[in-house]
Structure 1
Amino acid sequence: MSAAVLATVMLASSGCRGVDDLAITTPAEPTEVDTIIAGGMVFDGTGATGRSIDIAILDDRIVYVGEDADARFRARNTIDAVGLVVAPGFIDPHTHADADLVSSDADRRANKAYAFQGVTTVLVGNDGFGDYRIADMASAAIESGIGTNVAWLVGFGAVREEVLGRVDREPDAAELAQMGALTRQAMCEGAWGFSTGLYYVPQNFAKTEEVVTLARIATEFGGYYDTHMRDESTYNVTVTGALAETLKIGREAGLPVHIAHIKALGPAVWGHSERMIAMIEEAQASGQQVSADQYPWEASGTRISNALVPRWALEGGLEALRERLAKPEQRLAIRQGIEEAIERRGGSDRLLVTGALGEAEVETGKTLEQLARDQGIAPADAAIAVLRTGDARLASFNMNPDDIAAFAARDWVVTGSDGSTGHPRKYASFPKAYRDLVADGGMMDMARFVRRSSGQTADIIGLQGRGYLKPGYFADVVVLDPERFAPRATYSAPEELSSGVVHLLVNGEVVIRGGAHTGQLPGRPLLKPASCAS
């Protein structure tokens, strides 16, 4: 991307001007505004109690939040929000919406799975998968049009694989420098932080020191460290061992830590949330910045290869795995590892196949236990049969409700989806969290739920001018019906749009009106301002 185009992208992103500047340049009392949202119960994202007030919007900004807006402004469009909740558009800090946002299909680029949850900004590049070519992706988003705003993380996995491939070895000095240069390029082009997925190949081959070296580059740019930890169960260092490593990386690299989809995965670590919470809050008490996101589901979303196959057997990818399966001795070792992983996740009856990948011929909607029974073979052999030609998506029912509730109650945990194909979390995490935590569960009030879904998340990422309903801020606004805001997606029907979002505005433009999508694509790439030598 040319310097001129990149500059244009930067101006379209949040953080291109300070919030004080936005407020100063906003007309105090414009005669005419585009939209007034009138009479709703407004929760501004700060955690303050809701107030029945109005919001006035001109172009892409909020210009007024208060009473009697209709007496102060003349609006081209008025949204009657009486009886409805008005909140900042929700911000999802962990999604896998990359493919949707670059699709040639405008309907996919509308990002409806998130819009109908009230989400106006998604973060992508999580789990270490984030492409380092941020400027190219931002340019494409502007040229093609997207339905929600998008912000990027640079991924350790993408950087490491570019330089080393999928091999299990340490980089030499030159290779580490090359990885550092790619990370720096991404931060210069507007990445908000550095993400890892240390459980996944090839990232799991890296030692802690390698991660710290690259994370320090994000520190130079004021970024943060976002991580799918090396272990969420007992695969290698255990979930508490992985948490200790995560906190160490943050301390040694000198940047805030954000833990992705915090959980205690599998019966062997159920109840470990208590120790994890204590470790995090001890770190916070010592001055370290630590936060986490959480999706409100008992099942994680993964693949057979990621969930069950030993890490060593995946070096070189699935083709290399199949070569190993053809060798009796290695096949035996892989099968034993798969058996152990099935047990670790609570048994084959807890592993639901939700989609085939590659050339695999596998019946979806059945558990691994059912597939094995149908074929008259052991569950481990049923998994291997799938892997011989492809892979399969799994919903893995391996979390305990008590752990989920324990994490949800902490004030440093925010809402996130980890949205992926074949799992209802992509379409329904925010409304499900609302039902579980507010409407049905009574664990928190609406003000707290809105804060953990908007302003607090903006603060964690570093987004300026978003996440709050304040004059001068971008007009990302959700208007929802608190009685009808609910998930419709299920494990058997994971792609059902959620209900209850009556209106949704992104950068001042209406993308949902009266519960129907308008087809507008007003989303923007949000780039972190960076000062880099040309």
Structure 2
Amino acid sequence: MKIALLLGTAALSLGAAAPLPPQKVDLLIRGGTIYTGSDAPFVGDVAVKGDRIVSVGAHARVLAARVIDAKGMIVAPGFIDPHTHMGDDLASADPRKRLIPAFLMQGVTTAFIGNDGGGSPDLAKVLGSAATRPVGINYAAWVGFGAVRERVVGEDARDPTPAELERMKGLVAGAMCQGALGLSTGLFYAPQSFAKTEEVIALAREAGRRGGSYDSHIRDESSYTVGLAAAIDEAIRIGREGGLPAHISHIKALGVDVQGQAPAIIAKIDAARARGEKVTANQYPWSASGTSLVASLVPLWAQDGGRPALLKRFDDPSLARKLHDGMVENLRKRGGAGKLLIVEGQYRNRYLDAVAKEMKLDPVEAAIAVIRIGDPGTVSFNQSEADIAAFMKQPWVMTGSDASGGHPRVYGSFARKYDKYVKTDHVITLRQFIERSSALTADTFGLEGRGHLRAGAFADVVVFDPRTYASRATYEQPALLAAGVRTVLVNGVLAVDKGAMTGKAAGRALAHKPAPGTCN
């Protein structure tokens, strides 16, 4: 009897019975050109129920509560930004800021925070914030070497004592067990720059043994201290000896002394990868970098002890010549006063050469006068398009923004990369852009269920118009929303609908899972 029933069931499955009724879903994105994150593009449908994708295919047989016509549009996984400075906005008391419209209107649905060594070791608090202050995008967080070092050692240029080093290691271990992605550093910046490589390795091991990664704004992207090549070597060494993947943030050749070195740097990283070492990078698609006026121009020795000590050095006649000469040299490396744009404070949107002319001072004296008032953000035009293109072509380089105030990269990095480097300059293909803006990042950092359009994945989806998707932000007007995004889903919720923000905050804090048995 059982055999007959099985045979009957088999016959029915081969077409003897009427087809099953269509599956009920919440949303169907119909007829777009789908890039899944890992497959060649095809025209088809994406069906969503709750916070998950239930089907991706040529012809979805579903009954949808809402159908979005995506004919002529690109449908892709929500983009993931591995390097941002959006932590304050994500924790803001202002619910509008927490939506992160600058990202959603580009199709960015997940961001990493705590980069450049700034991530708080209190990861439970950072990740727990989303429970009481809903956010518009998903986010994951690094524990920052700088935050840890300042908490234990302070801002002085010295090594930690053995006891202090143990305390720092404990803070990193604790943060990993609370969900940190790994350890981030900003070794270019004081006081992190005062640390020796061995100190960083000791902390990186704590992240590595718990399954984390090492993310670094390297010690020198130019010729300030050790030089670009040696800084890359150091990052690779930290990953190797720390026992964890190494990730180089906003990879570049910054300044006149190192422009043209991209091929040599690429060769170094390719050699490490050929040895089996896990080394990746992210990059923002702009020829101008962004930092502060102090970080741009003031020698590291003068930053020992923080801002109070720096201001005293400005007043010390015995240091005047040494300080002036050091700042002159750093200004030269960045291309001169006509390449340095101040983007905050009373001199906002003024180039340093114009400020100096107004003050009737030389550019360095003018910079010191500005720094006495504060330390404004700056944008400096210091990279060559040839280097940008060379890095962008590498399969291990993902899209990032380094989103920080006063720079158009906050509002336009992903859109600009498509518009300029895919559509106009043909540096990379559309498929490469999408996969290196989503799947590569998710897979590299272990974001389960993110970065791909597939059944069972979280429904983070962007639909954009390939004819109009572009950045509108400029260096003079950096806060203009991007154009061309039609629909954005975050965990299955419409965050952007018909090209406009819906105001819905469906983002989640993404805690990294530590390696089993390492947090007992």
Task: Quickly name the TM-score band, shorter chain normalised.
Answer: over 0.9
The answer to whether the aligner puts 1:495 opposite 2:496 as a matched pair is no
Distance 2:467 2:245 in 1: 37
Aligned 8 A contact 1:418 1:426 in 2: yes
Distance 1:125 1:442 in 2: 33
Distance 2:21 2:495 in 1: 26
Aligned to 1:62: 53
Deviation string, structure 1 residues 257-287 (Cα, Å, up to 9, x no partner): 1100000000110111111011111111111
Aligned to 1:11: none
Aligned 8 A contact 2:209 2:243 in 1: no
Deviation string, structure 1 residues 325-374 (Cα, Å, up to 9, x no partner): 11111233222211111011111100011112xxxxx3221110111111
Aligned 8 A contact 1:192 1:462 in 2: no
The answer to whether the aligner puts 1:432 opposite 2:416 as a matched pair is yes
Matched to 1:437, the amino acid is Y
Aligned 8 A contact 1:502 1:514 in 2: yes
TM-score by length of 2: 0.94
Aligned to 2:338: 349
Distance 1:214 1:128 in 2: 12
Aligned to 2:14: none
Aligned to 1:119: 108
Q: Residues 340 and 445 from structure 1, CA distance in 2 versus in 1: closer, same or farther, beyond 3 angstroms?
A: same
Aligned to 1:33: 25
Match of 1:226 among 195, 215, 225: 215
The answer to whether the aligner puts 1:93 opposite 2:82 as a matched pair is yes
SS at match of 1:341: helix
Distance 1:343 1:533 in 2: 49
Distance 2:31 2:78 in 1: 18
- How far residue 29 of structure 1 moved from its aligned partner, in angstroms, is 8.7
Match of 1:159 among 141, 144, 148: 148
Aligned to 1:512: 496
Distance 2:286 2:449 in 1: 31
SS at match of 1:525: coil
1:69-468 correspondence runs (5 A): 69=60, 72-356=61-345, 362-468=346-452
Matched to 1:439, the amino acid is K
Aligned 8 A contact 1:89 1:477 in 2: yes
Q: Residues 30 and 98 from structure 1, CA distance in 2 versus in 1: closer, same or farther, beyond 3 angstroms?
A: farther
SS at match of 1:52: strand
Aligned to 1:22: none
- How far residue 499 of structure 1 moved from its aligned partner, in angstroms, is 0.5
- Poorly superposed stretches of 4+, deviation over 6 Å: none
Gaps of 5+ in 2: 1-19
- How far residue 82 of structure 1 moved from its aligned partner, in angstroms, is 0.6
Matched to 1:261, the amino acid is H
Stretch of structure 1 that moved more, 468-477 or 405-414: 405-414
- How far residue 186 of structure 1 moved from its aligned partner, in angstroms, is 0.7
- How far residue 533 of structure 1 moved from its aligned partner, in angstroms, is 4.4
Aligned to 1:359: none
Q: Considering only CA atoms, is the larger Rg found in Structure 1 or Structure 2?
A: 2
- How far residue 320 of structure 1 moved from its aligned partner, in angstroms, is 1.5
Aligned to 2:4: none
- How far residue 222 of structure 1 moved from its aligned partner, in angstroms, is 1.2
Q: Residues 30 and 237 from structure 1, CA distance in 2 versus in 1: closer, same or farther, beyond 3 angstroms?
A: farther
Deviation string, structure 1 residues 62-90 (Cα, Å, up to 9, x no partner): 01111222xx2211111110110000000
TM-score by length of 1: 0.92
Gaps of 5+ in 1: 1-27, 357-361
Q: How many residues align?
A: 499
- How far residue 459 of structure 1 moved from its aligned partner, in angstroms, is 1.1
Stretch of structure 1 that moved more, 305-314 or 326-335: 326-335
Match of 1:471 among 441, 451, 455: 455
SS at match of 2:36: coil
Aligned 8 A contact 2:246 2:279 in 1: yes
Aligned 8 A contact 1:127 1:228 in 2: yes
Distance 1:533 1:449 in 2: 37
Aligned 8 A contact 1:53 1:67 in 2: yes
- How far residue 31 of structure 1 moved from its aligned partner, in angstroms, is 3.0
Aligned to 1:25: none
Aligned 8 A contact 1:148 1:523 in 2: yes
SS at match of 1:453: coil
Matched to 1:206, the amino acid is A
Aligned 8 A contact 2:392 2:428 in 1: no
Matched to 1:277, the amino acid is I
Aligned 8 A contact 1:479 1:502 in 2: yes
